[in-house]
Amino acid sequence: ATRSRSHDDTRVVTYLSHGGAFRRALPGLYERCRAVARDKYVAEGGELSDVFELRVAEYHIVRPGGGLFDPQHVDAGSLVTVDVLLEDAFEGGAFRTPEANGRVASHDRVFKNKGDLVCFLSLKRHHVDRVVAGERRVLVLEFWAGVERTCPHRCERFHGNCDALVLEALAADAGSFDETFFGALDLDSVKDAVAALAAEDSDAASDAAPPPGPLDRRRGVAAS
């Protein structure tokens, strides 16, 4: 089942990528949107060989009084965002972007009919005017340089299982604690940290003035 989050009574976000539901149910739409996003990424200087996977698929419902009002808002951590308009029987709710010339562009001429799509770099600032009447329904897909995510939220972890999936697996008794806990670790990062600690320990030992006493390996302390 997908998860939803209500920001208030004017805006609800449902995470369609939870459990891979969106890609499984609508593989054709997923592939078309990913191709559009990929083309945009390459056109803006990205490499085809770069990791480029779905971070999150969200279904936004915005009711009268709601919107996205922060003019500095960006989809931080993602590479490219694709918005698809799923409902056009609403008033207000124009999609706007601040531009380099100081103007704030409105895209309501190209993003106003059901099925219209906008694609932009995720770090481009954007906001949405207040909805006056009806419901503004939009599919939002974010692609990033991490692994494809199936979390019940907008995940922040590029690799490994996120905390939400670990807790979900444990609650469902889907595996042992060891399996879910260690599955959440980035083992390369752990190895790097261990190596760094070993190097620091070695440096500290070489700087010490008196030589260490014989080690009691059973207790792990220096023998007297």
Q: Do the beta carbons of residue 66 and residue 11 sit within 8 Å? A: yes
Q: What percent of the chain has pLDDT over 70?
A: 70
Q: How far apart are CA 120 and CA 73, in angstroms?
A: 13
**pLDDT for position 75:** 97
Q: How far apart are CA 19 and CA 121, in angstroms?
A: 26
| Per-residue pLDDT tens over the stretch 75-124 | 999 999 999 999 999 999 999 999 999 999 999 889 999 999 999 999 99
Strand locations in 68-156, DSSP E? Answer: 80-85, 90-92, 95-98, 104-106, 117-121, 127-128, 131-134, 136-144
pLDDT band at 170 (very low <50, low <70, confident <90, very high): low
Q: How far apart are CA 121 and CA 41, in angstroms?
A: 7
- pTM of the complete model: 0.73
**pLDDT for position 8:** 76
pLDDT band at 162 (very low <50, low <70, confident <90, very high): confident
Tell me the backbone φ, ψ of residue 86, rounded to 5 degrees: -105, -10
Mean residue pLDDT across the chain: 81
Interior CA angle at 142 toward 106 and 87, to 5°?
50
